Amino acid sequence: MEKLKQQFQASQKKLIEQHQKSQCKALDEVKELRRQRTTAQAHARRLAAEVEALQKASLRHGIDIGLQLTLASMSAWHP
């Protein structure tokens, strides 16, 4: 009977150790995913800022071209 008790306790101890290892591994994975999420969010913010800057530059360029065309057409009508 004592031998069965010892085997049971050893089995329980092994299960607890496995559970603790799995829990530590899961926590490490969560930390890594959070780090990756933070990196991805920062990258997305940088890309959004670049897109916004490009859109503004494109709009300014479009206005400049439109103004040049307007001035050119006006000078064609009024030499």
The pLDDT tens digits of the residues spanning 56-68 come to 888 777 777 776 7
Domain presence at residue 21? yes
Residue 78 is inside which H or E element, if any?
none
pLDDT at 21: 98
Q: Rounded to an integer, what distance in angstroms lies between the CA atom of residue 40 and that of residue 61?
A: 31
Work out the end-to-end distance of the chain between its first and last CA atoms, rounded to an integer number of angstroms. 115
CA dist 12 → 16, 21, 65, 78 (Å):
6, 14, 78, 97
Each residue's pLDDT tens digit, 14-51: 999 999 999 999 999 999 999 999 999 999 999 999 99
Residue 23 domain-assigned (yes or no): yes
Question: What residues make up the domain containing 37?
Answer: 1-74
Judge whether 30 lies within some domain. Answer: yes
Longest dimension (CA), the chain: 115
The pLDDT value given to residue 76: 65
Residue 79 lies in a domain: no
Instruction: Note whether residue 62 is domain-resident.
Output: yes
Q: Is the pLDDT of residue 6 over 80?
A: yes
Q: How many domains does the chain have?
A: 1
